[in-house]
Structure 1
Amino acid sequence: MLSAIGSREHIKVVDQASFGGMRIEVMEYQKLLGSTNTAAASDLYFMEKQNIRARQVAVYLDNDMVTVEPGAMSYFRGNLEMISGVTAGNALGRLFSGAVTGEALAQPEYRGTGMLVLEPSFNHFLLLQLDHEEIIVDKGMFYCAQGGVTVKASMQRTVSSAVAGGEGLFQISLSGTGLVVLECPVPSCEIDIIELSNDVLKVDGNFAVLRSGGLQFTVERSAKTLLGSAVSGEGLVNVYRGTGSVWLAPSIKIYNTINSGVVSTRHMDMNTSNTR
């Protein structure tokens, strides 16, 4: 029997969860050892120091089912059957829905017993377990969900939340019971979970990555009057009302600033002024 030379000690399981006939492992590559590009050596070094690591999700099924984001499958083994989810009866409806929402026509479903490994990503993965509940997440965050979880598009309830809230007209609704994996730009340690009990939360920006389905979401002025909003400098804010959870990732704004090059530009300007 053929075997690979070396070991997989550089791959570490950093998170895992089990429910019913499904087990999930999140694997993290501690180092990327395969590059032969010497020019990329410094990038790989600093990526490792900054926790920019490739991560991969493995799903183990025991007579269960998982719904997967289209294109996310890397490989699978065992007695698994892949079902497209598109039939002659629902193809036209899914085609129309996809044209309106921007969703893929079909979300593959894998049923049976075996192992399914999904594509690696530099993003972080969040593992959740739903218990007869609904959550709303940003488009692009859904990665996979157990068979007991329904995945569908959720339209914003008001025009203001769609246009001015920065969340778009449609988000993703996940409802039911089972495990869910979300792909997130920040790790779980940088997420603040705000619990509301018949309360109101106002957020300056669209860095809420998840909310309970029962919460009302609107976009409103930060102050009661236009003049007050203008003076405060806040303008419009995203407002969440009711009872449930809101997951906030404030550090997204920091990373957006870094990725835009503003920090580097400011740093160069400061160095220039100091040398004068």
Structure 2
Amino acid sequence: MNYNAVGTRENIKIIDSSVNKNMKIEIMEYQKLLGGRDPYSSQMMYFMEKQNMKVRQAAIYLTNDAVKVEPGAMSYFQGNLEMVSGVTPGNLIGRMFTGAVTGEAAAQPEYRGTGMVVLEPTFKHLLTLELQPGEEIIVDKGMFFAAQGSANVSAYMQRNLSSAALGGEGIFQTSIKGPGLVILECAVPMCEIDIIDLQNDVLKVDGNFAVLRTGGIDFTVERSAKTLIGSAVSGEGLVNVYRGTGQVWLAPTIKVYSSMLGSPYSAAVSVSST
């Protein structure tokens, strides 16, 4: 069967590429959505394009390597690849219990061999980074998208009651330890993230818009002032506090986007995407 596919790939642009040993990641971005079915959906796609609200997709190329993928994130794969879940009769009950507590899936698919794995398309932004041996990052649940087989992905439990109950991050987050490449799914682009470097220092944040911190940073929730009266006068109350040496990634504009939720515009986008 012959088919003239001129232009079909011209609509896709590679916006990021990373290589580590036997694994390569390409982040693809669809420049336009061309499948409008009616004037209403076409209008919505026009405004989404103007606001850089584009569909993005990750393609992962393996050569005798492996990639761990968030459950449900795989779109298709090609080549001599084997999918394994890591669940055995011996650890099934333990994984099910952990999954029930953390809210994460009991099985985390891993694709091994030589070939290509393409992940599900998303309107969110896909961030790629490379972790060195022993390097650890803690991210919000839902941000992990994929990681090289050499990386370790696990649930991270908050170390103190204040951060678990009052920090807005939940009791569990996700820990990713290197070495290896990692793909994170983020609500904001990298250009809207402030990377704060701490050297035995303290960072206080009013809100839960820290999307990532390195393993050497402790997280607690404290009063903004030393006294209850001082906290009340300042109007800040409790703040998230990060101490130690490492990095904290802040995404202040998340608050702005969150304020748009529930508006007629966000409702229209939700309806048009179904």
**TM-score, reference length from structure 2:** 0.94
**Rg larger in 1 or in 2?**
1
Equivalent residue, structure 1, for 2:50: 49
- Between the aligned partners of 1:59 and 1:134, the Cα distance in structure 2 is 22
Deviations 1:154-212 (A, max 9, x none): 00011110111000000000002000000000000000000000000000000000001
Q: Which of 195, 199, 202 does residue 200 from structure 1 map onto?
A: 202
| 2:97 aligned counterpart, secondary structure | helix
- Between the aligned partners of 2:49 and 2:264, the Cα distance in structure 1 is 23
Equivalent residue, structure 2, for 1:5: 5
Q: Does 1:173 align with 2:150?
A: no
Equivalent residue, structure 2, for 1:58: 59
Q: Check the 8 A contact 1:257/1:263 in 2, yes or no.
A: no
Q: Does 1:245 align with 2:247?
A: yes
- Between the aligned partners of 2:235 and 2:150, the Cα distance in structure 1 is 45
Specify the code of the residue in structure 1 equivalent to 2:253.
Answer: S
Q: CA, structure 1 residues 162+4, in 2 after alignment: closer, same or farther (shift >3 Å)?
A: farther
Matching of residues 124-139 of structure 1 within 5 Å: 124-132=125-133, 133-139=135-141
**TM-score, reference length from structure 1:** 0.93
Which has the higher mean CA deviation after the structures are superposed, 177-186 or 254-263? 254-263
Number of residues paired by the alignment?
Answer: 264
- Between the aligned partners of 2:35 and 2:118, the Cα distance in structure 1 is 20
| 1:250 aligned counterpart, secondary structure | coil
- Cα deviation for residue 33 of structure 1 reads 0.5
| 1:44 aligned counterpart, secondary structure | helix
Equivalent residue, structure 2, for 1:75: 76
- Cα deviation for residue 25 of structure 1 reads 0.4
Q: CA, structure 1 residues 262+235, in 2 after alignment: closer, same or farther (shift >3 Å)?
A: farther
Q: CA, structure 1 residues 229+161, in 2 after alignment: closer, same or farther (shift >3 Å)?
A: same
- Between the aligned partners of 2:57 and 2:2, the Cα distance in structure 1 is 24
Q: Does 1:18 align with 2:19?
A: yes
- Cα deviation for residue 262 of structure 1 reads 9.8
Q: Check the 8 A contact 1:151/1:173 in 2, yes or no.
A: yes
- Cα deviation for residue 256 of structure 1 reads 0.7
Q: Check the 8 A contact 1:79/1:113 in 2, yes or no.
A: yes
- Between the aligned partners of 2:73 and 2:174, the Cα distance in structure 1 is 17
Q: Does 1:221 align with 2:223?
A: yes
Specify the code of the residue in structure 1 equivalent to 2:138.
Answer: I
| 2:132 aligned counterpart, secondary structure | strand
Gaps of 5+ in 1: 265-276
